[in-house]
Chains A and B, each alone.
Chain A
Amino acid sequence: EVQLVESGGGLVQPGRSMKLSCAASGFTFSNYGMAWVRQAPTKGLEWVATISYDGSSTYYRDSVKGRFTISRDNAKSTLYLQMNSLRSEDTATYYCTRDGTYYYPNWFAYWGQGTLVTVSS
């Protein structure tokens, strides 16, 4: 069974940093691209960043480019999201997702339970 378990969320002040982690199990982590998708309170879904299966390629939405970094450790089956210079508009539940297949374009086949990040002074 595919499992994705996020951690690292919480309350953070504007301008500060936070690092999210996602522990994966139930599949060969190094075979799949991974992504972070967020959802602001009572709002819709928004893709944040994607990383290829081997970490060689990364992609970001414009509003987080230069502030967020997606990375992975295939030996530990763990996905990360380093978030710097956080803004109030980054407040959301962040979901770790796994790609549905090995090629692109792709889709978000599996989702973690999410971790809430609240940016507020």
Chain B
Amino acid sequence: DTVLTQSPALAVSPGERVSISCRASEGVNSYMHWYQQKPGQQPKLLIYKASNLASGVPARFSGSGSGTDFTLTIDPVEADDTATYFCQQSWNDPDTFGAGTKLELK
């Protein structure tokens, strides 16, 4: 299975820019997607196919990358962005998720 590696946690101040990385153990073309999960809630799609903003998602969120290295950027970060962010690939079977990056605000 394709392993997706994310840093476990980040802490930033409101108004700053934050980049969350996801590295795949093998190429996934552009089929990397990003989700936000707040405590006690279901995940929510933010970015699909590496750089496409999902419907209703603020333009503060953006995605980039291809192949094996991908980044989710939030600029500027707001207090409501406190959550865990997961990457997911759908190019190689089976679909796999990263372990998640917990974003905390200072």
Contacts and interface: CB of A to CB of B under 8 A. Distances in A.
Contact of A100 (B48, B95, B100): B48
A108 B98 contact: no
A112 interface: yes
B97 interface: yes
Interface residues on B, range: 20 to 34
Contact of B45 (A46, A47, A108): A108
Interface string A86-121: 000000000100001000111111111110000000
Contacts, number: 53
Q: State which size class the interface on A falls in.
A: 20 to 34
Contacts of B99: 44
A113 B95 CA distance: 21
B106 to A, nearest CB: 24
Q: Which 8 residue pairs of A and B lie closest in terms of their CB atoms, listed nearest first?
A: A105-B90, A111-B42, A45-B97, A47-B95, A107-B33, A107-B48, A105-B31, A44-B99
21 contacts: A44-B97, A45-B97, A47-B94, A47-B96, A59-B93, A59-B94, A95-B43, A100-B45, A100-B48, A104-B90, A105-B91, A106-B90, A107-B45, A107-B49, A107-B90, A108-B35, A108-B45, A109-B48, A109-B54, A110-B45, A111-B42
